């Protein structure tokens, strides 16, 4: 029944223009113009035509349409972000996954050209700065692993080993947790678990370096234990083990608020590392336990009307808060994948489906060319730094809201693939 509702929501949506300015963040995203794709389109979409045609083609699945829309916006993802970093790399990976599902070689070529633009023939990546010890810079390694496993090329192997070398030297706090970056000493951010650990898990499985699996469990457990709010079961954005940051609670070291995307990164990291864990590894049970506990806690603060989550996760009724795309879609991806693979109860697939339908209804609008745009993604939130980010409620609701931000578009595509939409 839930799947029929999703398809109905996708095929029959009401039209209204979403607002994306920071001054309008207190508004609830309106229902979108009709945005559709069909769950019955061919599993092997034709490679004839252009990305603009595919993006506007309502006979194609939503995953294909949004991947094609990305290609329309940016001839290369270097035009989105020319840095070696996580956000464009994740978007590239989502386009690659569409190529795997559809067989359309244009999607794979788009992915490969983007990644190869960074990597010299000798395996050096000039835009990668190992000594920054920045976990965000490890995430693109997942894409390099795809290319290495497909080609066996030495240049890709060298990049992978260089990233692993960073992880071996990554600074740790006194509890053993990886610093988020060299410039953020003693701090674990939930974001960082996604940025590094799925790469490490896939590397460990691919190269037989199995000692890393225990380290992965340790990192997820430390982050969970030290960001957990026992009253709600939710996880705060970050933990400063030293308690030196102004944003940190002097007793717990925790940041002041729950940020949906931070938890979304963490949850996606859990289901993605489990792909690579050996079946009999004792750490699987711990990771699955954490996944289930946080998933149940998230359901308690979900917006009942839209099926989405707010930017500041537990304060939906507070002025200025808004239904946020990236966190909501990351949760949907986690629930859909977790249910498919048996990590979560099968009912979580229905939750994922209704959340995705809510995203299509409230956060998507087609432009004049029939190409879908995704609204209401927070551009980015961090802690500390210069200018100083204090982690207050006002900080989280006043950061820029972006249309077609990769951190929303990528989980939209990945969730659509999980739901076969």
pLDDT digits (tens, 9 = 90+) for 198-216: 999 999 999 999 999 999 9
Return the pLDDT at 37: 59
pLDDT digits (tens, 9 = 90+) for 314-367: 999 899 999 999 999 999 999 999 999 999 999 999 999 999 999 999 999 999
Could you give the residue numbers annotated as active site?
191
Any idea which of 24-28, 40-44, 107-111, 158-162 has the lowest mean pLDDT?
24-28
Please check the confidence at residue 156 and state whether its pLDDT lies above 90. Answer: yes
Share above pLDDT 70 across residues of the chain, in percent, rounded to a whole number: 89
Give the pLDDT band of residue 46 (cuts 50, 70, 90): low
Q: What average pLDDT does this structure show over 157-163?
A: 98
pLDDT digits (tens, 9 = 90+) for 225-248: 999 999 999 999 999 999 999 999
Q: Find the DSSP H helices in 43-104.
A: 51-56, 62-73, 86-102
Return the pLDDT at 2: 47
Nearest to 260 by CA among 164, 334, 174, 198: 334
Question: Are 133 and 166 spatial neighbours (Cβ–Cβ below 8 Å)?
Answer: yes
Separation of alpha carbons 357 and 354, rounded Å: 5
Please check the confidence at residue 269 and state whether its pLDDT lies above 60. Answer: yes
Name all contacts of 113-120 with Cβ < 8 Å and 24+ positions apart: 113/76, 114/76, 114/77, 114/78, 114/88, 115/89, 115/140, 115/143, 115/144, 115/147, 116/147, 117/76, 117/78, 118/84, 119/144, 119/155, 119/156, 119/159, 120/155
Structure tokens at 205: 């499985």
Question: Are 421 and 61 spatial neighbours (Cβ–Cβ below 8 Å)?
Answer: yes
Give the pLDDT band of residue 38 (cuts 50, 70, 90): low
Please check the confidence at residue 19 and state whether its pLDDT lies above 90. Answer: no
pLDDT digits (tens, 9 = 90+) for 54-97: 999 999 999 999 999 999 999 999 999 999 999 999 999 999 99
Separation of alpha carbons 267 and 278, rounded Å: 19
Separation of alpha carbons 10 and 357, rounded Å: 7
């Amino acid at each position: 029944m839930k799947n029929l509702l999703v398809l109905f929501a996708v095929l029959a949506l009401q039209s209204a223009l979403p607002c994306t300015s920071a001054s309008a963040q207190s508004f609830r995203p309106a229902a979108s113009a009709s945005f559709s794709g069909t769950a019955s389109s061919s599993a092997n979409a034709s490679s004839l035509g252009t990305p603009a045609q595919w993006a506007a083609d309502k006979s194609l699945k939503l995953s294909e349409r949004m991947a094609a829309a990305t290609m329309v916006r940016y001839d290369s993802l270097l035009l989105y972000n020319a840095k070696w970093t996580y956000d464009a790399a994740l978007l590239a990976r989502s386009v690659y996954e569409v190529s795997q599902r559809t067989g359309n070689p244009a999607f794979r070529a788009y992915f490969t050209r983007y990644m190869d633009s960074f990597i010299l023939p000798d395996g050096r990546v000039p835009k990668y700065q190992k000594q920054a010890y920045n976990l965000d810079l490890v995430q693109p390694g997942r894409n390099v692993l795809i290319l290495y496993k497909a080609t066996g090329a030495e240049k890709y192997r060298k990049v992978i080993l260089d990233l692993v070398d960073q992880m071996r030297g990554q600074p740790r706090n006194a509890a053993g947790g990886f610093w988020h970056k060299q410039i953020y000493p003693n701090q674990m951010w939930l974001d960082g678990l996604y940025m590094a650990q799925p790469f490490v898990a896939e590397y460990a499985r691919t190269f037989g370096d199995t000692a890393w699996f225990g380290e992965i469990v340790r990192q997820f457990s430390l982050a969970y234990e030290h960001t957990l709010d026992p009253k709600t079961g939710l996880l705060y954005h970050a933990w400063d083990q030293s308690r030196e940051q102004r944003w940190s609670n002097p007793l717990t070291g925790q940041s002041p608020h729950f940020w949906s995307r931070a938890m979304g990164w963490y949850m996606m990291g859990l289901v993605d590392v489990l792909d690579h864990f050996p079946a009999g590894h004792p750490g699987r049970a711990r990771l699955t336990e954490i996944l289930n506990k946080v998933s149940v806690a998230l359901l308690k603060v979900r917006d009942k009307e839209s099926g989405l989550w707010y930017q500041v996760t537990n304060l939906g009724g507070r002025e200025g808060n808004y239904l946020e795309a990236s966190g909501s879609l990351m949760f949907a991806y986690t629930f859909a994948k977790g249910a498919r693979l048996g990590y979560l109860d099968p009912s979580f697939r229905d939750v994922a489906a209704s959340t995705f339908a809510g995203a299509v209804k409230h956060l998507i609008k087609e432009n004049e060319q029939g190409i879908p745009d995704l609204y209401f993604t927070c551009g980015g939130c961090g802690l500390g730094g210069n200018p100083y980010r204090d982690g207050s409620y006002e900080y989280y609701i006043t950061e820029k809201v972006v249309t077609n931000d990769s951190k929303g578009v990528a989980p939209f595509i990945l969730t659509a693939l999980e739901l076969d939409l």
